[in-house]
Amino acid sequence: MSYDQMLAPLLGAAAAGRPVWTTSTTAGLQHDAVRRQILKCTRWQLEETTDFVTCPYHYYCDSSYPGDYHPALGALVAAFAAYCFATALAFTVLDLLARPSTTSSSSASGSGISIRGIKRKYLIPSGPFLLPLVLLALAKGQRLNAVFPLAQLGPALLLLLQCSALAFRNEADGDIRYAVLEASTVSGVLHASLYLDAVVLPYYTGLEALRWSRFSGECASCLCRMEPLVVGGTAMRYRGLSKTALAIIFALCSRMVCRIYGEERLSAWTRSALEGVGWVFVAADAVYLVGWVAAEGGAVGVAVYSFVAALVFLCVFGKVYRFLAWVESKSQWKSSSLSCHNVV
């Protein structure tokens, strides 16, 4: 079967003014394979064209897709993501229920909160044990398209990692060991952002190519467009490597500097300000992704991003609550010291 015969229903849909991607589910396995190739394309090639009126930009996919992993791996990644969410939620609730003085002293001593004798750093997504698994899932995410497709749900996993890195400090007895853990977390957040972009950007580039293009019939993935094809599409504004990732990296680096060189008043306020900026960016990404998924449709995606957004705002509430408790204790200490001075 030739390309023209294989793509005849898609070409007819494009000529009728309908999006070409809507016919892929009913046009057979070959048309679905073409759609999958376009959505997973990592390298688009622009060709010269002589039809400047109806086809000023002619693209074709210059990369091959090796295929999807077994759905069992998608189920395994989904279970892993659910476990990461559950542990992050559990430790967030434990931090809220703990006393402010107890939490601060445990963080300073490096003992940390534990569940059944297992330290927190071994259970949270940003810890030294689970972080490599998160990176592995995102690095192989382009071929995970069943149960937990990372092209659509990968940003939720990155948000969970970013929230965990900001909410829970690394726990270590010595400064050198702490510096190694903090540096590995910084490197993990950076690599996770890059891996996610390698999964998400080709998907939304191909989605825009399918929605706003028509097949030329020259090859299976040859498309005619009236406007240039933009990496990541023009509708989706989310990026893994963005201001959010940079703000989190700066906040983690400020923690490391304060831990090693001491928390003076200026450095402590700088660290708190950087962490606050990081939380603002993470919360903004969570709200944007919930709205984007709700507009696109899909109950599963809305539920996943809503749960992660709820966790983010719970962490923000905890940080605000701790800050207000610290301000109240500070004011009470000042008032008590002033009263003692007046008595003397």
**Strand bridging mode 214-215 / 118-119:** unpaired
Predicted confidence (pLDDT) per residue in 242-300, tens digit? 999 999 999 999 888 888 777 666 677 888 889 999 999 999 999 999 999 988 878 89
Pick the more confident residue, 19 or 224.
224
pLDDT band (50, 70, 90) for residue 15? very low
Asked whether residue 99 carries a pLDDT value surpassing 50, the answer given is yes
Pick the more confident residue, 174 or 129.
129
Asked whether residue 200 carries a pLDDT value surpassing 80, the answer given is yes
Query: Residues 6 or more apart from 192 whose CB is under 8 A from it?
Result: 134, 135, 138, 158, 161, 240
pLDDT band (50, 70, 90) for residue 23? very low
Q: What is the share, in percent, of the chain residues with pLDDT greater than 70?
A: 80
Alpha carbon separation from 249 to 72, 162, 344 (Å, rounded): 34, 10, 49
Element (H, E) at 61: strand 57-61
User: What pLDDT is stored for residue 154 in this prediction?
Assistant: 94
Q: What is the share, in percent, of the chain residues with pLDDT greater than 90?
A: 46
Asked whether residue 71 carries a pLDDT value surpassing 50, the answer given is yes
Query: Residues 6 or more apart from 235 whose CB is under 8 A from it?
Result: 204, 208
pLDDT band (50, 70, 90) for residue 219? confident
Asked whether residue 22 carries a pLDDT value surpassing 50, the answer given is no
Q: Which of 88, 109, 94, 32 is nearest to 65 (CA)?
A: 32
pLDDT band (50, 70, 90) for residue 112? low
Q: In 168-242, which ranges are continuous DSSP H helix?
A: 175-211
Asked whether residue 192 carries a pLDDT value surpassing 80, the answer given is yes
User: What pLDDT is stored for residue 260 in this prediction?
Assistant: 79
pLDDT band (50, 70, 90) for residue 29? low
Q: What pTM, to 2 d.p., does this model score?
A: 0.83
Predicted confidence (pLDDT) per residue in 154-165, tens digit? 999 999 999 999
Task: Give the burial class of 121: count Cβ atoms within 10 A of its Cβ; 0-12 exposed, 13-18 middle, 19 or more buried.
Answer: buried
User: What pLDDT is stored for residue 224 in this prediction?
Assistant: 92
